Structure 1
Amino acid sequence: MKVILTQEVSGLGTPGDIIEVKDGYGRNYLLPQGFAIAWSKGAEKQVTVIKRARDAREIRDLGHANEVKAQLEGLKVSLSARAGDGGRLFGSITPAEVVDAVKAAGGPALDRRRLELSGHIKALGAHQVRVRLHPDVTAKFDVNVVRSK
């Protein structure tokens, strides 16, 4: 089955890529989740629009990715959340909340889909977050979750 990716899918490609996948994977996962659209001649024309939008928010090159990495790794990111007596959060910290905290700490604007959390953040303390900035560059930084007052 031929599909056009609308979002970045780890191991498959980036938005606008036309790829061939197994029928069940495309029909049961990629299409219902909105990660891809079925390929057609008309849909292929939309690829240029998707790629143009991706280029606008994409990190320009390897040098720019390394600059953003250096900026992120020197950043102190802190989030406050409600927690119980044992330090366990009521709910969990989402990637969107991490992106907002990075921006509030003076960091660059990130795409939440590029964040790689090591499981859900459900406890107080320091947690390591990875960000795929470029295919060759991954930044790591710590997010400190503190109890809100």
Structure 2
Amino acid sequence: MKVILVEDVKSLGKKGDIVNVSDGYARNMLFPKKLGLEATSKNINDLKLQRAHEDKVAKEQLDAAQAFKAELETKEVTVSIKVGENGRTFGSISTKELAEAAKEQLGYDIDKKKMQLSSPIKELGTTKVPIRLHPKVTAELKVVVKEA
């Protein structure tokens, strides 16, 4: 029996796959647990329409992320930090502080978890912080660190 998987099923396939399974496995395991649908022409057509819609939504999200990247890379965020003798800084600037500064100065609500800062910023000057906006789009935010 041909079955369209509604969920990922271990050792069988991923969501949306059309697989061939025994009648008993389909009736006793997949259908009662809502893991699959019978592969009728209507269900196959619905699957095609759903995939087309998901592709369209994914393309729109990618385009929006690329547009936001272009806008974000023209901006900069200024953050201040206490500095002692010999230009030595007290503490560091983390992604949480960068996200707050971006919201306050630019009005962008950027998730701190999407900022890919390898280590906290501990020196004065300009730093580019990579921000993952989409799996295929990474923007760089210019961060200027000044003395408080």
TM-score interval for Structure 1 and Structure 2 normalised by the shorter chain = 0.5 to 0.7
Q: Which residue number in structure 1 is paired with residue 129 of structure 2?
A: 129
- Residues 77 and 106 in structure 2, CA contact (< 8 A), matched pair in contact too: no
Please report how far the alpha carbon of residue 81 of structure 1 lies from its aligned counterpart in structure 2 after TM superposition.
1.1
Misfit runs of 4+, over 2 Å: 85-88
* Residue-by-residue CA offset, 1:79-106 (whole Å, 9 max, x unaligned): 0111112322211101010011111221
State yes or no: 1:119 paired with 2:119: yes
Corresponding letter in the other structure for 2:145: V
Please report how far the alpha carbon of residue 142 of structure 1 lies from its aligned counterpart in structure 2 after TM superposition.
1.5
- Residues 132 and 139 in structure 1, CA contact (< 8 A), matched pair in contact too: yes
SS of 2:92's partner is: strand
- Residues 72 and 107 in structure 1, CA contact (< 8 A), matched pair in contact too: no
Q: Percent identity?
A: 40
Query: How many residue pairs get matched?
Result: 91
Q: Which residue number in structure 2 is paired with residue 96 of structure 1?
A: 96
Q: TM-score, normalised by structure 1?
A: 0.56
SS of 1:89's partner is: coil
Q: Which residue number in structure 2 is paired with residue 140 of structure 1?
A: 140
Unaligned runs of 5+ in 1: 1-17, 21-59
Name the Cα RMSD after superposition.
1.9
1:20-39 correspondence to structure 2 within 5 Å: none
Unaligned runs of 5+ in 2: 1-7, 11-59
Corresponding letter in the other structure for 1:82: K
* Residue-by-residue CA offset, 1:96-121 (whole Å, 9 max, x unaligned): 10011111221421110010114221
Corresponding letter in the other structure for 1:101: A
1:3-82 correspondence to structure 2 within 5 Å: 61-82=61-82
- Residues 99 and 110 in structure 1, CA contact (< 8 A), matched pair in contact too: yes
SS of 2:66's partner is: helix
Q: Which residue number in structure 2 is paired with residue 87 of structure 1?
A: 87
The higher radius of gyration belongs to: 2
Structure 1: how far apart are the matches of 2:135 and 2:125?
30
SS of 1:145's partner is: strand
